[in-house]
């Protein structure tokens, strides 16, 4: 929506992005918890292994001993007997009695018996957990970990207690250690890590985003954004009627406009790619209640959205939408942009309402159906998305982008539904699109993603080369091509060179920094990964995207802490 890149159904990761394929044979999913991405080749085993709750105390019971038999027994034997008694109380749900027995075991156990002491503390923590005494759980698990630094049960129990105490940072460190120790084979610990990462990401993004400095995207991004609209008055070049009389017949010369119109001056700045001056010129038009007030409101709102200030954009969009005498296409465009904004804010009902209102008010506007189709993909309503793309194509048969995205929607539907015959139909559709529209870079890019899924790497590489030939300043294509080299040829150096090239072309390409950070995590270069994620965070275009990036950064930072505290490191490339 309101963008030229493909949109994806929400996978539960917080970010609707399907565009990253595989890295060195292992899927890269740039979702919240998926910074732990080296384990994915064994995901199926995860479902069956270790998915149950860790509730029971540890230590097998010894035969019941009479008082005579216990005389002369070692302190450790007595401690074990007390623990066994505590285990019986625990299983009977008598947790206070269990705690007393475990406390006795701790007091009787010789200090050099670290393994036994660790078990006793962990068992007492389990009993405290049943009574929701979270501080005591943390304290006892901490003692257990002091005696046994790689004690999975104690680390995970402490992680759960820390979550209850709202100490997400230390919770994340503990559950990260657990994931590494379990070789990422326990779904329960993976889910907790994912949950905490999402929460941390949302909290940090909410604070950061409202205080962030506005940042104008790169010219390439802005042009790509506007290219996703075909019926947008404000993005069209200056018309003759908008020029000064003496300029109307000057073909090929720079347009000069009356200084009295802030909006027309803003349009001239758009043509010159002098984007930083557009908002101020639109404000002049609005404040003077000029002839182009509605257009200026919409253009100003659009650039507020582009620099990430939705709170300023929304009132402007509201005013345009409520202007009964405004051009219907201006109102429809405002509804599309407000609907897209709502979707970024994870308000799909409000988003759907705005797109439906736009379709009702301007029934023959192809942009409405194009962007609503992308919304439907996000909502995993692929049949409805295809219908909208069809309507868009009916109204604008030469609209290559809609044709390509329709093929993409059909491919996703067939691929996720494991329907080989429909997959082939979609692939044939891509061939038809690039043959009919050989200048549409987006068609090649989407086809390349599908080819990568089908492991037709050589042809996918050719498609990316065509994209670069058509749009040499499109940084995102270099990132995709770099990832392809990693999967196809396991060529880490070439892959990183291509992603570095993307950053060289567009140093505001957050996707490039994010991908570079993800690769550095897999290489074990956590400090560099954190630096890359922080750069991406500062470039994030929405609070939702920023939350996702914070979660990746927090996961990498947690791994540095786990390595420092416990000497634990996951496998690297």
Identify the segments of the chain with pLDDT beneath 50.
1-51, 61-69, 244-258
d(C-alpha 467, C-alpha 484), whole Å: 14
pLDDT at 59 (0 to 100):
64
Report whether 518 contacts 28 (CB < 8 A): yes
d(C-alpha 132, C-alpha 210), whole Å: 36
Residue environment code for 422-458, b if the CB has 16+ CB neighbours within 10 A, otherwise e: ebeebbebbeebbeebeebbbbbbbbbbbbbbbebbe
Those residues with Cβ within 8 angstroms of residue 310's Cβ, 6 or more apart along the chain or in another chain = 304, 341, 344, 345
In DSSP terms, which residues pair with 26 in a beta bridge?
23
pLDDT at 122 (0 to 100):
98
Report whether 91 contacts 113 (CB < 8 A): no
pLDDT tens, residue by residue, 367-387:
999 999 999 998 999 999 999
pLDDT at 549 (0 to 100):
97
pLDDT at 36 (0 to 100):
34
d(C-alpha 121, C-alpha 115), whole Å: 10
Strands (DSSP E) contained in 18-124 are 22-23, 26-27
How far apart, in Å, are the Cα atoms of 307 and each of 215, 216, 458, 514? 5, 5, 38, 19
Tokens of 171: 């919770």
Q: How many CA atoms lie within 13 A of 429 on its CB side?
A: 21
């Amino acid at each position: 929506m309101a963008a030229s890149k493909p949109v994806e159904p929400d996978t539960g990761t917080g970010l609707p992005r399907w565009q990253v394929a595989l890295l060195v044979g292992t899927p890269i999913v740039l979702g919240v918890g998926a910074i732990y991405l080296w384990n994915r080749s064994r995901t199926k085993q995860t479902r069956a292994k270790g998915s149950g709750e860790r509730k029971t105390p540890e230590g097998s019971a010894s035969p019941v001993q009479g008082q005579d038999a216990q005389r002369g027994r070692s302190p450790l034997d007595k401690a074990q007997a007390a623990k066994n008694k505590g285990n019986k109380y625990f299983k009977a749900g008598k947790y206070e009695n269990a705690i007393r027995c475990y406390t006795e075991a701790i007091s009787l156990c010789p200090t050099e018996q670290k393994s036994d002491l660790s078990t006793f503390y962990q068992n007492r923590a389990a009993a405290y957990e049943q009574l929701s005494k979270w501080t005591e759980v943390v304290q006892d698990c901490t003692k257990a970990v002091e005696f046994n630094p790689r004690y999975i049960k104690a680390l995970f129990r402490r992680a759960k207690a820390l979550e209850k105490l709202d100490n997400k940072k230390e919770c994340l460190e503990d559950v990260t250690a657990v994931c590494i120790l379990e070789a990422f084979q326990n779904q329960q610990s993976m889910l907790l890590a994912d949950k905490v990462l999402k929460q941390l990401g949302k909290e940090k993004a909410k604070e950061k985003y409202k205080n962030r400095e506005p940042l104008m995207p790169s010219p390439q991004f802005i042009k790509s954004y506007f290219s996703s609209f075909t019926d947008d008055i404000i993005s069209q070049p200056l018309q003759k009627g908008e020029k000064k009389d003496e300029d109307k017949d000057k073909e090929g010369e720079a347009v000069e406009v009356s200084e009295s119109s802030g909006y027309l001056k803003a349009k001239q700045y758009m043509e010159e790619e002098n984007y930083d001056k557009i908002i101020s010129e639109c404000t002049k038009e609005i404040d003077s209640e000029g002839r182009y007030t509605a257009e200026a409101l919409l253009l100003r709102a659009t650039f507020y959205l582009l620099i990430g200030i939705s709170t300023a954009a929304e009132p402007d969009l509201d005013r345009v939408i409520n202007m009964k005498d405004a051009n219907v296409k201006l109102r429809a465009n405002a509804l599309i942009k407000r609907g897209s904004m709502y979707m970024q804010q994870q308000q799909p009902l409000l988003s759907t309402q705005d797109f439906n209102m736009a379709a009702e008010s301007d029934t023959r506007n192809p942009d409405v159906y194009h962007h609503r189709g992308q919304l439907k993909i996000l909502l995993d309503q692929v049949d409805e998305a295809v219908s909208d793309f069809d309507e868009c194509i009916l109204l604008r048969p030469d609209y290559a982008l809609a044709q390509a995205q329709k093929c993409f929607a059909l491919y996703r539907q067939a691929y996720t539904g494991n329907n080989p015959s429909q997959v082939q139909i979609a692939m044939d559709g891509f061939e038809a699109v690039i043959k009919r529209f050989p200048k549409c870079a987006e068609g090649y890019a989407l086809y390349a993603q599908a080819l990568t899924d089908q492991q037709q790497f050589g042809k996918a590489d050719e498609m990316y080369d065509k994209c670069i030939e058509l749009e040499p300043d499109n940084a995102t294509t270099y990132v995709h091509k770099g990832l392809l080299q990693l999967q196809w040829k396991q060529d880490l150096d070439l892959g990183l060179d291509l992603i570095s090239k993307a950053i060289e072309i567009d140093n505001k390409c957050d996707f490039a920094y994010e991908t570079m950070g993800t690769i550095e995590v897999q290489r074990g270069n956590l400090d560099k990964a954190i630096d890359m994620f922080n750069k991406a965070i500062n470039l994030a275009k929405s609070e939702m995207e920023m939350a996702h990036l914070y979660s990746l950064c927090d996961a990498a930072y947690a791994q540095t802490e786990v390595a420092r505290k416990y000497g634990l490191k996951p496998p690297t490339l």
